[in-house]
Chain A
Amino acid sequence: MRALRYFFAEAFASLWRGRGAALLSILTIAAGLFVLGFFLMVNTNVQRLVGRWGQAAELSVYMREEATPEQTAAVRETLNRSGLATSIQFLSKDDAKTEFSRDFPDLAGAAANLQRNPFPASFEVRLASDAGGAAAAIDALAGSLSELPGVADVRYDRRWLARLNAMIGIVRGMGLVIVLMLALASALTVANVVRLAAAARRDEIEIMQLVGAPFAYIRGPFVVEGLLQGGLGALGAIIALLASFAVLRLRLGSFVAEAVGVPGVAFVPATLLVLLVLGGMGLGCFGGYIVARSVR
């Protein structure tokens, strides 16, 4: 406890003595962690979006103009037998036109003036939410439906959702590489600032070595100094994130809700924020430890 008190007292004193360099270091960490936090925030919202779209994923079976009632019944029968659908809704050509006019009121007039109804009749099928695990079965169902007489086309949302997920995975990987590089840069910045502090305290260190002070007492303050820089940097990043979040929600919240159907923008979950602070402290510790290790 006495040792910890000493580490923190010395670390705070050292930070205060070299406050210019320390501030620069804290800002660098804050910038790095802000990028990471922003990345987490975007990721959180994209996950929500994909999750929501995934839940709303539908299979659409478009019928030919000339499809007979028997062919339509055969399609319904196939869907019922599959056991993958939670709801099946048949939209006649007229229903499709009405729905279009409701969804796109600006174009409703144009649709009403058409000589003939161009909208095909269709089955809108909602798949079970756990159907993602039965992708092969859905693919097989879509394949067999498209071969049925009277069927013009089968659209399956999950295919492009899978593609979207794959793309998100790639972007996430690239983001992770950038974040790792920023983390390394932050750790090196802390190390350099702590090295400056070590140089400023070389007389003290020499005396400590001569009187036989334990290594923990010699090195501890440097590690704690890095830890404090990392922690303060992380807090700075969170404050900047909160500010960005407030601005984004104010400026883009309603736009996002309308454009992609997700209510508002979500902030980074609390557990990730805690991890962000711990990560910042860890980075700082690592930077401080690099210097502390060289003090013998």
Chain B
Amino acid sequence: MIEAQGVSKMYSRGVYALRELTLRVDKGEFVFLTGPSGAGKSTLLRLLLRQDVPSDGKLVVGGRDLAQLTQRQVQAYRRSLGFVFQDFKLLPNKTVLENVSFVPRVLGMADSQQQRRTFQVLKWVGLQHRMNAFPLELSGGEQQRIAIARALVNDPIIILADEPTGNLDPDLSLEIMNLFREINARGTTVMVATHDRELIRRVGRRAVTLDHGHIVEVA
């Protein structure tokens, strides 16, 4: 599903964020990316989101070399992804319902389909009763569940999450991870970047540890 072959990413002045990274993630797998700040976790997610391209090496997702994609192909590729960020990236002036339905709406989905999918995912994350609330009226955990619902609404084949529990307490963090586990159990490939080793231990999935852009451990 995801294959990094000797991927390096160099930023200005010769600073490497990733160095000759080789990694394979199978379809339907749940993988943690961990390591200290600056290890290269977010850079790898940025490359996978195709917000950037490797300086060297090849990053292949679903058989497609991401560096070779045209703008239009990048758009099509991103429609197969779901993303979740530490800061939720919810739109404060839109309700929960509008935040989630925003994605199918801007992808040109029919109104009836938009509504059906939005209700489905809101029910799935257990927040259908808060659909008319605004994000700032919700707790951190609820906001992140909305962000997860938004990531799921397009029925993605891969979910990428960058420190999704960074702003949450341990109990809420585990609750969010359980949601990711459920998503994964339905066949979606999940890649979560976190520096919370305790959480990884409690969830108990493959963890790839990065440090200074290198893979230092796979457990």
Contacts and interface: CB of A to CB of B under 8 A. Distances in A.
Contact of B106 (A203, A208, A296): A208
B103 interface: yes
A230 to B, nearest CB: 25
B133 interface: no
Interface stretch (B24-32, B59-67, B77-85, B195-203): B77-85
A211 B78 contact: yes
A207 B75 contact: no
A210 B52 CA distance: 12
B91 A203 contact: yes
Contacts of B105: 6
A292 to B, nearest CB: 15
Contacts of A208: 106
A209 B74 CA distance: 10
Give the contact-size bracket for chain A.
10 to 19
A217 B108 contact: yes
A3 interface: yes
Interface in A119-150: none
A292 B168 CA distance: 37
B75 A203 contact: no
Nearest to B73: A212
A206 to B, nearest CB: 7
A51 B14 CA distance: 76
B27 to A, nearest CB: 20
A247 to B, nearest CB: 44
A2 B108 contact: yes
A272 interface: no
A2 B102 CA distance: 14
B89 A212 contact: no
A215 to B, nearest CB: 8
Given A203-B89, A203-B91, A204-B91, A210 B106 contact: no
A207 B108 contact: no
Interface of A: 2-3, 6, 203-204, 206-215, 217-218, 296
Q: Which 10 A-B pairs rank lowest in CB-CB distance, beginning with the nearest?
A: A212-B78, A212-B79, A213-B106, A212-B75, A217-B106, A211-B103, A208-B106, A210-B83, A203-B91, A204-B91
21 contacts: A2-B108, A2-B111, A6-B105, A203-B89, A204-B102, A206-B89, A207-B102, A207-B103, A210-B83, A211-B103, A212-B74, A212-B76, A212-B81, A213-B75, A213-B106, A213-B107, A214-B108, A215-B71, A217-B107, A218-B106, A296-B71
